[in-house]
Amino acid sequence: MRKKIFLIAVILISVFLFLKLGRTSNYTQKTIQKIEKDSIKTIPREKGVVVKEYPSSEVAKVTHKMDSLLKRIHKRYDFHGAVLVAKNGKIVYNNQIGYADFRSKKLLHETSAFQIASVSKQFTAAAIVLLEERGLIQYSDSVAQYYPDFPYKDVTIKHLLTHTSGLPKYFWVAEHKWEEKEPPSNAEMMALLEETETPRFFRAGRNFDYSNTGYFVLASIVEKISGMAYADFVAQNIFEPLGMKNSFVYSYKKDTIRSNQLTGYRLYKGWRHLKIRGTVNDAIVGDKNVYANTEDLYKWNYGLHHGMLLSKESLALMQTRGKTKYGRNVPYGFGFRLDHGKEGRVYHYGKWNGFNTGLIQYPKDDMVIIILEHTSYRSIASLNSKIKRIVDENLES
């Protein structure tokens, strides 16, 4: 009797595994077949800029190897996202793989908008620089000039930009001090900081400490000076001038969800994808909450580096390492992490609510790599290295 029960159990398990593997195989094949092959596009250029044309054989080789890489990480590591690679002013790869929605089985599309998490800080920094260029603020201004009740009187705009402000973590303040049902907006969080006077980590300028709080305060200053919502200011002054049609700022429970807007997921028990819901911190903008697709982020990167938005002097300042009050360099400019090693990367990674993102520029190689993913993939930096190796080995300089 026991042997009979054992055999029945083995048969049932075998049938279950067969069906599961069959579904997985069909799912993977379906997503791979939907990858767009016509991915070689060129962003409109300013006059005088020469775009390098690569032999079609070299581009085809990069495309083949990149497609294979995406298929592999999709199957092995549950990567559901998009990748764009540009070199010498030419997009040589722009593709996506996997699901946009796991319940409806809707596939990712080239217009799918990812939450870019901390890569959003570049837009906040650029908004501040635009205000400075227009003579409306100075980097040496204190936050208290615009918010008189701000309790940290020695903090300047430049401290916020370079993460040397020492401000407390607003995540903690929201989670422990906010008592309303709906998550706080920027204005409400500024008022909460003023009310609670939460102790900070150090006096402004003494150290470098990566701070989401600093960038939400910067976005609040943008709102105060411009008289516009941060989302509207960024849309009118950055997205629209650069033709970023799939980009927007989203504040949880306060804004309408867009049709192409993705949700972040986490993997449950190794096979089920669960949506990650918003939290008390998700209505704050400036440190996160910009949504975009790969092509829009390339338009942003190109426009920023070719004088379409800011002066060359302002861009140089954004990509110059900040300093503490003691003269020590910090690895950050205005919205950019700066690596002055052999490769000299100008980059930023982002991670929030299932979204993992990266925008990496290699100025010496004139190469840009953009990676966007929304199912808690954890190896963006490693993937970036693999992508760069493929391009280096298969495209001439």
Query: Among all residues, which ones are annotated catalytic?
Result: 118
- 350 contacts 119 by C-beta, under 8 angstroms: yes
Burial 142-158 (b: 16+ CB within 10 A, else e): bbeebbeebbbeebbbb
Give whole-number Cα distances, 32 to 25, 63, 72, 340, 371, in Å. 11, 14, 10, 38, 18
The closest of 255, 239, 332 to 289, measured between CA atoms, is 255
- 266 contacts 273 by C-beta, under 8 angstroms: yes
Residues 6+ apart with CB under 8 A from 302: 43, 86, 89, 308
Taking each helix axis from N to C end, the angle separating 170-177 and 186-196, rounded to the nearest 10 degrees, works out to: 80
What is d(CA 82, CA 298) in angstroms, rounded to the nearest whole number? Answer: 13
What is d(CA 29, CA 352) in angstroms, rounded to the nearest whole number? Answer: 29
With H, G, I as helix, E, B as strand and everything else as coil, classify residue 142: strand
The closest of 310, 167, 296 to 237, measured between CA atoms, is 310
What is d(CA 184, CA 179) in angstroms, rounded to the nearest whole number? Answer: 10
Question: What's the distance, CA 191 to chain centroid?
Answer: 27
What is d(CA 295, CA 84) in angstroms, rounded to the nearest whole number? Answer: 7
- Output the furthest CA–CA distance in the chain (Å, rounded): 88
What is d(CA 275, CA 267) in angstroms, rounded to the nearest whole number? Answer: 9
**Parallel/antiparallel/unpaired status of strands 290-292 and 114-115:** antiparallel
**CA-based Rg of the chain, rounded to a whole angstrom?**
23
